[in-house]
Structure formats: C-alpha cells, structure tokens
C-alpha cells in the first residue's frame, strides 16, 4: 500500500497483521527485554519487514539495532524507516546513493485525543484543518497532521542528529495527496534542511505519510519528492 506514495528507488515491505513465522536475530532479542507481548509482536514483524525490504536491494539479513534516540541502525550505505500501528507494519529502505533520508508513518484513521491535538498542532495548522474538513470531511485531518509530523522527524533526524519538536514544523496538508513542512528553527545551521515535501494516503482505515529526500546532485537537502 505505502508504495503508492514512494518513488521507485525505495524498497517496501509491509504486513497487515503479525506474522507467525517472523523471528528476531539474536542481537535484536536484547532490545525487547521488558516488552509486553503486543509490543514484542509488533517489533518482530516490523524487523522482519525490514529484512524483506533490504533483501529487495540485494542485502543479506542483518540485525536492525537501535542508535541514538532509538533510531534504527541500517546497514552501511543504506537508509530506511519503520512504522507500525494497529493492523499495519512497514519498512522502507533505499541505497544512500539514491536517497539521503526517508521517513514514513502509519496511523489509524481516527481522531486524535483532544489533549494530544492541542499539543502538536500550531494555530495555522488548526485553521487549515478546519478548511480541509469542510472540503473533505471523510478524513481525520488531525490524525493525518500527527502522522506527517512523525514522518518529518524520521526524515530530519538522520540528516541532523538533532531533536525536532512538533512546534518546529508547520505542516500544510493538501487535498491532492501532498504536504509540505516548513521548519521553524530558532537556531538553524547552514547544513540543516529548511523544509520537506511529502505525500499522504488515506486507504483501508489507515493514514500513511512519507518523505523521501533524494540524493540529487545540486538539489537542496531536505526538499523531498
């Protein structure tokens, strides 16, 4: 499903339920200590998807460990992103020669709790949401906004190794399935991205978002696709 909003150079593996034959590699088992059963199953299936996606690129199975701030550690010269929600798990990967960074997120198409929405949505974003609901009331735009912000962070962190708060990205969702993120940084560095372009999909009770920063010579880093 998520391949519909990704370019062809990105490999995808996804599952709509936990896979009984999926297993972790020994080094990954250490990461799951203390997990409840549900979280453990999600972790196993998502890592399994990661190895399937890497296999599409011709890369042998390797453990996908965690680095700084829990970000997945991908094999050398590759980039990737993971996501899971109720009824969906996915991994996407690409060769670094083609893609500098990728961020994906999946959410159920349901409203956000009011206290969460108020903490993640800027006033400008809330105004746009109201307009979008009038034009297309069948989508939970607040949850889609949350998903887009998650995708922004996942694309941002590998490029900068720096935290990015919800309030530091102003997302504009569009009815054509695209979105932009303007980064509102108080202390930007010259090498930091200033924004991203992404795509979204609402299908089968799921909301999916994706940002891919292609490795195009001369292109500003962070423009997306």
* 10-39 residue pLDDT tens: 999 999 999 999 999 999 999 999 999 999
Q: How far apart are CA 224 and CA 76, in angstroms?
A: 22
**Which of 98, 32, 94, 103 is CA-nearest to residue 63?**
32
Task: State yes or no: pLDDT of 225 exceeds 60.
Answer: no
Decide if domain 105-214 falls under CATH 3.90.470.
yes
Would you place residue 188 in the very low, low, confident or very high pLDDT band (cuts 50, 70, 90)?
confident
In CATH terms, 2-97 corresponds, of 3.90.600.10, 3.90.470.20, 2.60.34.10, 3.40.50.800, to: 3.90.470.20
Task: State yes or no: pLDDT of 177 exceeds 80.
Answer: yes
Tell me how far CA of residue 215 lies from CA of 95, 102, 145, 219, 221, in angstroms.
10, 11, 26, 8, 8
First to last CA, the chain: 18
Q: How far apart are CA 155 and CA 113, in angstroms?
A: 25
Q: Which helix (H) or strand (E) holds 84?
A: strand 78-85
Q: How far apart are CA 27 and CA 62, in angstroms?
A: 9
Residue pLDDT, tens place only, 68-100: 989 999 999 999 999 999 999 999 999 999 999
Residue pLDDT, tens place only, 112-164: 988 899 999 999 999 999 999 999 999 999 999 999 999 999 999 999 999 99
Question: How many Å is the maximal CA-CA distance in the chain?
Answer: 51
Which residues partner with 178 through β-bridges? 199
**According to the model, what pLDDT value does residue 224 have?**
61
């Amino acid at each position: 499903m998520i391949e519909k909003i990704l370019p062809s150079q990105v490999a995808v593996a996804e599952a709509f339920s936990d896979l009984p034959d999926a297993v972790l590699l020994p080094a990954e088992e250490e990461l799951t200590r203390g997990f409840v059963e549900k979280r453990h199953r999600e972790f196993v299936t998502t890592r399994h998807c990661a190895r399937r996606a890497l296999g599409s690129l011709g890369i042998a199975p390797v453990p996908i460990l965690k680095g700084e701030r829990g970000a997945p550690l991908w094999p050398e010269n590759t980039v990737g992103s993971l996501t899971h929600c109720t009824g969906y798990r996915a991994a996407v990967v690409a060769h670094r020669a083609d893609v500098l960074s990728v961020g994906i997120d999946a959410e159920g198409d349901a409203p956000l709790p009011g206290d969460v929405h108020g903490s993640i949505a800027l006033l400008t974003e809330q105004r746009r949401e109201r307009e979008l609901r009038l034009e297309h009331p069948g989508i939970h735009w607040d949850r889609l906004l949350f998903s887009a912000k998650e995708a922004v962070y996942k694309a941002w962190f590998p490029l900068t190794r720096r935290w990015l708060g919800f309030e530091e990205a102003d997302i504009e969702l569009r009815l054509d399935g695209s979105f932009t993120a303007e980064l509102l940084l108080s202390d930007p560095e010259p090498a930091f991205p200033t924004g991203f372009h992404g795509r979204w999909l609402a299908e089968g009770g799921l909301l999916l978002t994706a940002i891919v920063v292609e490795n195009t010579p001369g292109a500003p880093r962070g423009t997306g696709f």
